[in-house]
């Protein structure tokens, strides 16, 4: 049987990680891996997470399974964080999943179960796992314009023109905030235009929100998805707690499906629970308990929000520093978009040859599409990166 298997293409980010580890230079810079790092290069455990975990160790009396959909308190707390105080609970089905990637996979499985002929529309560019999972599941994958390399911003006109071609029943994947890999976000006015167009076309939005709190703050980062939920009869949401709670290895996600009626709610909830059963039976619980503990304890929540805001402002400061260093070295403002972007990532616009030059001559490692992880920098490495970018002729 196994002799029929063919070698899978190597993961580019994992290959980049291996090359970085093997580089003996002490001043090398890793801008590839999508995790937050502090100024010392560490991915710290947040204070509130440590406190919540200590409480769980002392108070938890069982490690028995949760329900197929996960702990209801977790879904209640996280849906409230994302959708605000007016969560439409009578229309919202939800299941806990192994991370945000698990939520995306379960969401696509649900779409295939409900409408196997639906096409999946993805932004150009998008996170590579979006098309990889959709194609593996047999979907027809289409793209809509999103990023304008000339301005470093959203190609709003191109996006709307492409979405006007979406047939009824197709699914449009949207990034809730901090677009990966570009860092370019829709304005609230553009979100409203997208919502109106999707409603007119009869298409279903599927929002991937993995960076809430990393952009303009917890509330501001959720306004787009809240607008969609307010205006459309059906919305799917894949949420991740990896970044904003710093619990990457705990694999803590949530899939939410907003449906049109109470009758649809029961059937949809049952289908989502059934998919959990088929794919992994019961979802992981430790990270979910940590999140619900933090979000329902006033002191822990306040401390978590303060630390998360410090993470956010640190990345904004690095963006502004990098844009300033590049302005000085290039004698132009062509990199000003870096300060306007939000989240961990920006798409620099470098060619593969320029990326290789930066790696070879300066020890700067970034993904081949020129996505750079702002959180991989600190105040000392920003000038070196700026020097490498300008020297490579970007």
* DSSP class of 40: T
Catalytic residue among 69, 96, 118, 210: 210
pLDDT of res. 12: 79
Assigned token pair, 210: 């993995």
Catalytic site includes residue 191: no
Specify the pLDDT at position 34: 82
Low-confidence ranges of the chain (pLDDT < 70): none
pLDDT at 39: 84
Instruction: Determine which one of 51, 103, 121, 127 is catalytic.
Output: 127
How far separated are the first and last CA of the chain, in Å rounded? 49
pLDDT tens per residue, range 263-277: 899 999 999 999 999
Backbone angles phi, psi at 95, to 5 degrees: -140, 145
**Cα dihedral sign for 57, 249, 33, 345?**
negative
The pTM of this model reads 0.96
Token reading at 150: 């000339």
> What pLDDT does residue 150 have?
93
- pLDDT tens for 1-29 read 999 999 988 877 888 888 999 999 999 99
Per-residue CA distances from 31 to 21, 342, 355 (Å): 13, 16, 11
Active site residue 273: no
Out of 170, 208, 221, 285, the active site residue is 208
Query: How high is the pLDDT of residue 40?
Result: 84
What is the model's pLDDT at position 330?
Answer: 95
Q: Is 121 a catalytic residue?
A: no
Establish whether 238 is a catalytic residue: no
Alpha helices in the chain (DSSP H): 12-22, 47-59, 72-83, 99-114, 129-136, 156-163, 188-201, 218-221, 223-231, 262-279, 286-295, 298-330, 337-340, 352-362, 381-391
């Amino acid at each position: 049987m196994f002799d029929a298997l063919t070698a899978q293409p190597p993961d580019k980010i994992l290959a980049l990680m291996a090359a970085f580890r093997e580089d003996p230079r002490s001043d090398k810079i890793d801008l590839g891996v999508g995790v937050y790092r502090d100024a010392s290069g560490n991915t710290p455990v947040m204070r509130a997470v440590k406190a919540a975990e200590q409480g769980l160790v002392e108070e938890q009396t069982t490690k028995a399974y949760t329900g197929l959909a996960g702990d209801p308190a977790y879904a209640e707390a996280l849906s409230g964080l994302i959708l605000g105080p007016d969560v439409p609970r009578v229309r919202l089905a939800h299941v806990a999943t192994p991370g945000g990637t698990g939520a995306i996979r379960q969401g696509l499985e649900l779409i295939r179960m409900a409408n196997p002929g639906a096409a999946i529309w993805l932004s150009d560019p998008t996170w590579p796992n979006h098309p990889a999972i959709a194609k593996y599941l047999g979907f027809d994958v289409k793209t809509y314009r999103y990023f304008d390399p000339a301005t470093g911003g959203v190609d709003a006109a191109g996006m709307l023109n492409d979405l006007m071609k979406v047939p009824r029943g197709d699914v449009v994947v949207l990034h809730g905030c901090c677009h990966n890999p570009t860092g370019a976000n829709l304005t609230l006015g553009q979100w409203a235009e997208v919502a109106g167009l999707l409603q007119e076309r009869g298409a279903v939005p599927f929002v991937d929100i993995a960076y809430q709190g990393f952009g303009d703050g917890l509330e501001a980062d959720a306004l787009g998805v809240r607008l969609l939920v307010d205006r459309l009869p059906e919305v799917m949401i894949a949420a991740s707690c990896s970044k904003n709670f710093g619990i990457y290895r705990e694999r803590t996600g949530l899939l939410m499906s907003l449906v049109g009626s109470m009758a649809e709610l029961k059937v949809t909830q049952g289908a989502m629970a059934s998919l959990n059963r088929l794919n992994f039976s019961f979802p992981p619980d430790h990270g979910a308990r940590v999140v619900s503990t933090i979000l329902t304890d006033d002191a822990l929540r306040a401390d978590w929000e303060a630390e998360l805001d410090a993470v956010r402002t640190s990345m904004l400061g690095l963006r502004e520093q990098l844009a300033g260093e590049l302005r000085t070295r290039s004698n132009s403002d062509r990199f000003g978009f870096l300060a306007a972007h939000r989240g961990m990532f920006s798409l620099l616009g470098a060619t593969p040859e320029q990326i290789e030059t930066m790696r070879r001559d300066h020890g700067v490692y970034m993904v081949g599409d020129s996505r750079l992880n702002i959180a991989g920098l600190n105040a000392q490495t920003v000038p070196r990166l700026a020097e490498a970018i300008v020297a490579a002729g970007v």
